[in-house]
């Protein structure tokens, strides 16, 4: 839940849960410097979610926003281009039950990674993108995603800009991995930009996708140190390790409902 901070919010929530027979297993809260309150509560018990929400809203002040998510696996679609490292990491985690989700399908604008996906018995859809007219391709992508009734779209190095309509339809449910420490080096070829600038740290950013390129709320980031001896190829090699770990962590936070978006920023109860 989130909203303006008031005294006694935690008490009000926990009291309602207690009165309805719920057992709280974990509670995390945070108040921003501007006085905005965030809380994530894990609880268990038998109760009608609608009845519980109504009871909570009756007790809480106006302006508080509640979301109640049952503990179940989310259904996700992965989108890729040619790079295998992020896709491979997620597929392995999925195969060994380390990913709290069901991968419904993989969509790609190339067929390069089809053999890899086939090893995991997951449907692969090749949707080529014509640079001169991308509309037919993204109409097909939208159809496939909606057909799968996906909860979340993961861009695991999908090097195409999604149309505004898809970003809007799946707002807060499209996750991207960008191979730089945003907001530095947005757009294409960030490692080349970093090499030109002579930075000493490179990184990766997992963020929600919005209409503005590489500007959505940031979920997770990490960096690796480099030196003047590292060329672009070295940066790409080092960066791939960071990318796949940052995407895996950021996706896990989303799948476990640990992320709250507010004013294009996130509070992550990791």
Could you list the active site residues?
214
Specify the length of the chain in residues.
Answer: 270
CB 116 within 8 A of CB 270: no
CB 23 within 8 A of CB 44: yes
Scan for tokens 């989130």, then name that residue: 2
CB 67 within 8 A of CB 1: yes
11, two tokens: 């008490």
Torsion angle of C-alpha atoms 85, 156, 182, 209, degrees rounded to 10:
180
CB 22 within 8 A of CB 43: yes
Which helix (H) or strand (E) segment is 126 a member of? strand 124-126
Q: How far apart are the first and last CA of the chain?
A: 16
32, two tokens: 């921003």
């Amino acid at each position: 839940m989130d909203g303006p901070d008031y005294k006694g919010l935690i008490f009000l929530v926990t009291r309602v849960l207690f009165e309805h027979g719920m057992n709280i297993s974990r509670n995390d809260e945070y108040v921003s410097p501007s006085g905005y309150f965030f809380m994530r509560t894990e609880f268990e018990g038998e109760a009608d979610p609608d009845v519980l929400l109504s009871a909570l809203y009756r007790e809480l002040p106006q302006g508080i926003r509640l979301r109640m998510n049952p503990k179940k696996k989310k259904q996700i679609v992965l989108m890729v281009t040619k790079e295998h490292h992020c896709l491979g990491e997620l597929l392995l985690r999925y195969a060994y039950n380390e990913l709290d989700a069901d991968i419904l399908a993989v969509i790609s604008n190339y067929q390069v990674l089809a053999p890899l996906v086939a090893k995991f018995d997951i449907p692969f859809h090749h949707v080529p993108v014509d640079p001169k007219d991308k509309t037919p391709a993204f109409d097909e992508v939208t159809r496939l995603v909606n057909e799968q009734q996906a909860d979340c779209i993961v861009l695991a190095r999908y090097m195409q800009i999604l149309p505004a309509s898809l970003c809007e339809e799946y707002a807060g449910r499209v996750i991207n991995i960008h191979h730089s420490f945003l907001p530095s080096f947005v757009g294409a070829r960030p490692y080349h930009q970093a090499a030109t600038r002579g930075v000493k740290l490179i990184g990766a950013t997992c963020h929600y996708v919005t209409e503005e390129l590489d500007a959505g709320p940031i979920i997770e980031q990490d960096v690796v140190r480099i030196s003047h001896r590292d060329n672009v190829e070295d940066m790409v090699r080092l960066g791939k390790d960071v990318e796949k770990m940052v995407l895996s962590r950021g996706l896990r936070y989303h799948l476990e409902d640990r992320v709250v978006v507010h004013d294009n920023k996130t509070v992550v109860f990791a």
